A and B are shown apart, each in its own frame.
Chain A
Amino acid sequence: MSPLPDLICPAGSLPALKAAVDNGADAVYLGYKNDTNARNFAGLNFDTKTMADGIRYAHGKGREVLLAINTFAQAGRVADWQKAVDAAVDQGVDAIILADVGLLDYARNRHPQQRLHLSVQGSATSYEAINFCQREFGVRRAVLPRVLTLAQVEHVIKNTTVEIEVFGFGSLCVMNEGRCWLSSYACGESPNTVGACSPAKYVKWDKQPGRMDTRLNGVLIDRFGDDEPAGYPTLCKGRFEVQGETYYALEEPTSLNVLPILPDIIKIGVRAIKVEGRQRSPAYVTQVTRTLRAALDALKDGGERYHVKPAWQAELAKVSEGSQATLGAYNRPWR
């Protein structure tokens, strides 16, 4: 059996960071309060002071802090992203998670000692792309987009010495990560430009008798009956009329949950498992971290008797988007 992968948990605030550390995360990932990261939501994330407090707390308990600077530097403002990289190095984060090749190049040249990870937003799905980032920028770990089957993940791992991190739990989207402009189609802003998908100022939940309408910049994207579970107000999870039928034409509101295939993920040599959800509350971070920690620990001694406990699944199902979970691409038949 391969060694246990690190459990990487999200932190949108200091209490969330502490919840992750206290419940068994090996590392937390976070971002600054600006558009240098892809969860740039009002009131979320860290300033220099809370970041310093967070790093102190995590390091005090022997855990790592990974900083996401995972949006693309905008024309005329490249210095803002470079400053974020410099600040992260100054603050002593264990690694910086980058997507923009220009920034990777900057970080590599300016701070050759700094550990760099390739963000999921970097959209590298092949070992050739990952090995390129290793050769050119010294990338030590790559986070894979959520579009690969388990066999494809294994193929990547066999052909690179870069550590591979995959997603283990969290909301799914259409997953054209780092290349998605759907949000811009409706409201002119998307993760790649402002660091947020479907920014809240464009979202309207309109309560009507017996139903709730979701509008994104005035465009009706979904309509829920009173007893139907809801999801995030993104275009990819909207219901659309296609050839006379109205349904989730792109992606259903759902969350990824890899517990049933956790032994296989470990066997193929995945180095780290990431939990999505920096926009979520400390309660979510507590619940998900605790559950994944318990599952990983159950595999510590070879995991011959590993079975997914119903209590774990119930806990994760409850916090899932649309109240449902899936194995995502991992078990799809496509190649």
Chain B
Amino acid sequence: MNANFTIPRFRLPAFVASLGHKLPQWPHTLALVAALNAALKMKLLPESELLLLEDKLFRVRVNDTGGEASYTYRNGMFRPVFRPTREPDLAFAANLSAYLQLLARQEDPDTLFFNRELEITGDTELGLIVKNMLDAIELPRLPRLPLTSH
């Protein structure tokens, strides 16, 4: 990938969300949980902080796709929760572009929060733990492909 590539701020058209609400939520929930468990397996997440996530219910909502995923952390694994029976301990809501910018470490969550592009509700301290845990992950440096180096 080009080092100068940046993810633009965008918002998907409203019909995507109205369609998304009607689609099953399990495929992306499973994908998210699988990604988190992969990070666990790679020992990217510190154990001392993981203990603080035990039995907490999380919800990630993507406003402009109409998708949402609920999951919990129990006995050393992230697990999907398909039919949450209570309000989440911590909930994030943002458009897809904001999540992509966060994942690419292109934008800081505080920036998105100040600009009202990221909504955090529930247990604020839990939110801070999750945020700081993700920030502290050392992303593996991807090898440069011969084709993209000049």
Contact = CB atoms under 8 A, between A and B. Distances in A.
Given A204-B124, A283-B105, A319-B111, A42 B116 contact: no
Interface in A1-36: 12-16
Nearest to B111: A319
A32 to B, nearest CB: 14
B133 interface: yes
Contact of A199 (B125, B137, B138): B125
Interface string A31-65: 00000000001111000001000000000000000
Nearest to B136: A13
B7 to A, nearest CB: 11
B132 A227 contact: no
A281 B113 CA distance: 12
A280 B110 contact: yes
A135 interface: no
A321 B114 contact: yes
A72 interface: no
Contact of A43 (B107, B116, B136): B136
A318 interface: yes
A283 B125 contact: no
B128 A229 contact: no
Contacts of B110: 279-281, 284, 319, 321
A269 interface: no
B131 A281 contact: yes
A238 interface: no
A15 B139 contact: yes
B113 to A, nearest CB: 6
A207 B121 contact: yes
Query: Interface size bucket, B side?
Result: 20 to 34
Contacts of B124: 200-201, 203-205
A10 to B, nearest CB: 12
A231 B52 CA distance: 26
A226 interface: yes
Interface in B102-150: 105-111, 113-116, 119-121, 124-125, 127-133, 135-139
Contacts of A224: 116
B139 A200 contact: no
Given A13-B135, A280-B108, A318-B111, A229 B125 contact: no
A283 B107 contact: yes
Nearest to A324: B114
A318 B108 CA distance: 10
Interface string A227-264: 11111000000000000000000000100000000000
B132 A13 contact: yes
B49 interface: yes
A280 B111 CA distance: 9
B109 A230 contact: no
A282 interface: yes
Contact of B114 (A16, A205, A212, A322): A322
A215 B106 CA distance: 29
Contacts of A283: 105-108, 111
Interface in A100-120: none
B48 to A, nearest CB: 9
Contacts of A15: 105, 135-139
Nearest to B46: A43
A206 interface: yes
Nearest to A321: B114
Interface in A284-325: 284, 286-287, 318-323
Q: Report which residue of B120, B124, B138 has the largest number of chain A beta carbons within 10 angstroms of its beta carbon.
A: B124
Contact of A320 (B114, B120, B121, B138): B114
Contacts of A253: 114
Q: Report which residue of A43, A279, A286 has the largest number of chain B beta carbons within 10 angstroms of its beta carbon.
A: A43
B116 A281 contact: no
B111 A227 contact: no
Interface of B: 49, 52, 105-111, 113-116, 119-121, 124-125, 127-133, 135-139
Given A43-B136, A280-B108, A280-B110, 8 more contacts: A15-B105, A16-B135, A41-B128, A200-B127, A205-B124, A287-B108, A319-B111, A321-B110
8 contacts: A13-B132, A14-B136, A43-B128, A43-B129, A43-B132, A200-B125, A203-B124, A281-B108
